[in-house]
Amino acid sequence: MRYLKDAYIRFVLVLTLIILSGMFAVYRHNSKGPQSAESAIRFAGEFVVKKVIDGDTLILSSGDTVRLIGVDTPELHHPEVPVQRFASEAMEFSRKFAEGFVCRVEVEGSDNRDKYGRLLAYIRINGRLLNSELIRLGYGYAYRRFAFEKSEEFARLEAAARKSGYGLWNTSLRDGRIANIIASYESLNLEGKEKFDTELARLLRKYSVEN
């Protein structure tokens, strides 16, 4: 009888431990909440957009210069690169979208400034995210050189814009991505053009759709 009683006690103890372990696992899972996809993004304040510098850069009423996270628009003011096609259109889109409006600023983590001291941020106005709208409508590329929370989402938006031929991805020789390549090529000297041709031939051999 004592043996049965001891066995029963051991059984109850083991069962209790299993139940408690399960409850702890559920608690840990729930305590994380829905933050897994957006865990690094946090609210940094609301400010007026005082001025748009180019498609992906703007100045806030706080005095901060913001570089939009995850998007790169054609160069407009780069000292070493000629003005690229669609740069003015991208700036005009951002200006109409943001300049003079109150925006919600969102940042990732604590290391949120680039080497120029610009604040790396998402800019949201009336529920719409400027970063993603630029990519969705073909005004900019998904800039994935550095990791960020919305990287996969932005890559999908760029793929959709490419497929639809929006903005930069228009195949017209007067507009879009091809026009930017032509403008860049024409800005090169003879040696640069020769190197460009060599590199283009290498890329075509390596990345041809027929491979």
Q: Which residues are catalytic?
A: 67, 75, 118
CA distances from 117 to 46, 113, 132 (A): 19, 5, 23
CA distances from 120 to 67, 141, 155, 200 (A): 5, 16, 18, 33
Kindly tell me the sign of the dihedral angle through the C-alpha atoms of 65, 47, 41, 86: negative
Q: Dihedral of the CA atoms 73, 166, 152, 182 (nearest 10)?
A: -50
How many degrees, rounded to 5, is the angle at CA 200 between CA 197 and CA 205?
A: 130
Nearest to 102 by CA among 72, 133, 124: 124
Nearest to 66 by CA among 80, 78, 49: 49
Residue at 165: amino acid letter = G
